[in-house]
Amino acid sequence: MNDVVLYSATGCPLCAKYKTLLSEKGVKYQEKNTTEQPALLDELIKKGIRMVPTVFVGDKFVAGFRPTSLLEILPS
């Protein structure tokens, strides 16, 4: 199964929606909170991404809140 990683921020309502969506789909994921660990933003910037939420599924990702796009790349 592909690793699912959610880059989030404390108090981010769209991040919370992604957490709910992933939980409802039974998808296990690792959360990387950029508020608690600001250095995580550098990881995203190196990949050309400057926003949270961003969800990685293996080598694919969805930046911003685009639940339909996320559902397309999640493992079945």
Domains and CATH numbers, the chain: 4-73 (3.40.30.10)
Q: What is the mean pLDDT of residues 55-62?
A: 95
- pLDDT at position 2 is 67
3-state class (DSSP) for residue 45: helix
- To 10 degrees, the CA torsion angle through 34, 36, 39, 45? 10
Q: What pLDDT, in 10s, does the model give residues 60-71?
A: 999 999 999 999
Measure the CA–CA gap between 68 and 50, rounded to whole angstroms.
20
Q: What residues are paired with 32 via a beta bridge?
A: 7
* Of 1-5, 12-16, 44-48, 56-60, the least confident: 1-5
64: left (phi over 0), alpha (psi -120 to 50) or beta: left
Measure the CA–CA gap between 71 and 76, rounded to whole angstroms.
9
What is the length of the chain?
Answer: 76
Q: What pLDDT, in 10s, does the model give residues 13-38?
A: 999 999 999 999 999 999 999 999 99
